[in-house]
Structure formats: structure tokens, C-alpha cells
Amino acid sequence: MSSSPPDLSSSMPSRQPLAERLVEWLRHFWPAPLGIDGRERLRFVVGAMMGMLLTAWLSRWWAQGSGSGPWMVASLGASAVLVFGMPSSPLAQPWPVLGGSTLSALVGAVCSTLIPDKVLAGAIAVGLAIALMVPLRCLHPPGGAMALYVVLTSGDGWHLATFPVLFNVVLLLIAAVVYNGLTGRRYPHPQRVVSRVAASQGAFTASDVDAALAHYNQVLDVSRADLEGLLHLAGRAAFQRTLGELRCADIMSSPPHAVEMGVSLKEAWALMRLQQIKALPVVDTQRQVIGIVTVADFMRLANLDTHEGLGQRLRTLVMGRGGQPQAVGEIMSHPVQVARATQHAMDLVPLFSQGGHHHIPIVDDVDHLVGIITQTDLVRTLATAVQGR
């Protein structure tokens, strides 16, 4: 008997309709908001206006009596957008603005001199300008316009590279340095990566950022240092969202097992074995923590110099023979580190990782014992958060 092939149509993923894909593609043409508030927008607009006003006024004044040549280049408006609106951008720093603009103008002058056809000269000028700006670390988008401007402008290209190009750029940069500084923006903005301590608390390292950038392999309009800083801020926000709001009361073991200081070692040891725990807070009659007794305390006071086995030595200790201590209060550790139930759980990380603690009693606002947190409790909480449960 032959069997018909199984129907796989229901298990195959349905293809998105062409109209929906077209709409989704068209949405890419509408950019996301810039993410700046009204105050920053006003700072941006006023700075660009003042920078252009100062540059234009001084350039026109300088050009008086020097003929009818141009005294300002239009691409300077694009540079103003960068230096006033994005003063932290690698493309807006003084060297890219100055070097990229002037170098591109000189490239345009060379191409205009050697290549008679302006169409060919303009294309080659823009390409060569980019090819030089990238290795010289002065990539500046208006630089391509500068190269084309010199090619298309009738006149002495070498003179244009000096005035108005270089003159305009220097004035704009002076205005940008002063205005950005007065309005709380660092300019020039540091571009080098600040050396960081090796990652802690599960954070990424600088080499992780380098690997991601190498994989991305595209020009970013943000400095390497700022990108790493933004990633750290995002990581801190995610950490705060997932773990930062957890309180000790959320992860503590409650109700806790505890003993008073007069309890015999035999009873304390039996309780620890029965409950399979490694520590017992020691409390007074008001349930306030006055100490803690752990398995390590029993081990430390067992007579390790005898030839008996470990079990026999512990038995000797808890039975109170051989002049050994008999009550919990005689071997407990005190004072003891405690934490509040309302305290952030992440505050305990340094206590466990650096303070040598393995068990931390948790108390309420009136110092009454309400729970206990162990290293295992904290690790379990971290693992759960990492797994996204």
C-alpha cells in the first residue's frame, strides 16, 4: 500500500505579502526622532546661526577690495550642522573640519588643473578627497563638496583653497569652540578610548567593543570612546532593570533557623544536619542577631592534632568532652555582618566576593532576624536574571 506524501504546507512559514513588504521597506525612508529635547534643539539652532553670521560677516569684510571673487562657500552650512549640532561626532572635530575641507579643496585644485573635463575632474576630485581623508583621519562629509566646488568654480583653485575655504573654516571653528564651551558641550570632544579596568559584574570589555566594530565594518558617526560609554550606560540600565530593584527580602530564605547563645553544641549541630544548612544565626531573646555559628567554626575547634577521624573529633566537640566548649555562645563568630530586608540585594555582592562572607543574616527595621541569604541564593538569583526567566 502506497502512502501519500505528508502535507508540509501547514508547517512551512507563510511568506509575507508583497504589499506588506513594500510598506515595511518604505518605512525605512522615514527616520527615527533625533532624541534631543527642546533646549538642545534651541542650542543647536542658535549656535549654527551665530557661527554662520560671524563667519560670513568677517569673510565679507576681509574680501572687500580684493575683487569680485567668492568670499564664502555654501558647504560651510553643512559643517555648521556638524560642529554645532553634533560636537561629539568624529566627523565634526577640528582636525576633520580643517584638514578635510582644506585638503579636499587642494585636491579639487589639482584635478581642475590636470583634467580639462569638469565632469570627469569633479568625480575624480571627490573620490580622491575621500581616499585621502580616511587614512589621514580627517573624514569630513562637506569635504567632498569642497573638492567639487573648486572644480566647478571658474578661477584659481589654489587661491580658493586659501580664501575663502581655509579662512571660512578657521572662523567657523573658533566660533564652535567658544559657543560649545559656553553652552556646556566639550569641543574638541575627546575621541580616544579611556583605559578601563577589566570588566566586572559581568560587563563587557574594551576588546569586546573592538570585536563588534570590526564585525560591523562601517563608518560610525560616534567616537569609539562615546560608543563604549553608551554601551556601558545601556548595560547599567539593563542591570538596574533586571537586578537593581531586587531587595534582600525578595531572595532571602525565611523563616530562618536560629539558636540562642546558651544552646548546646550538640543541639546546634543536630539542627544544622537536620535542616542541611551550614550556618545558624545566634540571637538574643528579642530575636536580634548577636553572632553566627557555622560548620567552619566546628571544624576550627575540633582537635585536629589527634589521630582520630574527623567524625570522631566532631563528636568529641559536640558532646562536650575533653574540656571542649559546650554552648554555641562559646564558639560563635561576633560581631556579625547583617543586612536590611529593604536593602538592595546587589549590595551584598562585594560582601560575598571580597568580604569573605558566606552567610548574611537579614534583619528588619527594628533589627529582628527575618531571614538569611547565602552565596547560593545570590548566585541563583543572578543565573535566573541572566537566563531571562
Average pLDDT, rounded, for the chain: 82
Q: What is the dihedral of CA 127, 132, 135, 140, to 10 degrees?
A: -80
Lowest mean pLDDT among 100-104, 202-206, 225-229, 295-299: 202-206
Mean pLDDT in residue range 355-363: 87
The pLDDT of residue 11: 47
Mean pLDDT across the stretch 303-310?
51
Angle of the 94-114 helix axis to the 142-152 helix axis, nearest 10: 30
Burial 277-292 (b: 16+ CB within 10 A, else e): bebbbbbeeebebbbb
pLDDT digits over 235-247, tens only? 666 666 666 678 8
The whole-number pLDDT of residue 316 equals 60
Predicted confidence (pLDDT) at residue 251 exceeds the cutoff of 90: no
Helix (H) or strand (E) holding 280: strand 279-283
Say yes or no to pLDDT of 210 above 50: yes
- CB within 8 Å of 221: residues ≥ 6 apart: 86, 89, 90, 91
pLDDT of 4 higher than 60: no
Asked if 71 contacts 63 with a C-beta cutoff of 8 angstroms, the reply is: yes
pLDDT score of 82: 95
- Partners of 372 in the beta sheet? 253, 361
Which run of H or E residues covers position 158?
helix 157-160
Average pLDDT over every residue of 17-38:
86
In the prediction, which pLDDT does 27 show? 86
pLDDT over 60 at 373, yes or no: yes
pTM of this structure = 0.58
CA distances from residue 214 to 190, 251, 365 in whole angstroms, order as listed: 21, 41, 52
Out of 94-98, 343-347, 375-379, the most confident range is 94-98
Residue 151 has pLDDT above 70, yes or no: yes
pLDDT at 304 over 90: no
Lowest mean pLDDT among 5-14, 176-185, 265-274: 5-14
Using pLDDT thresholds of 50, 70 and 90, give the confidence band for residue 347: confident
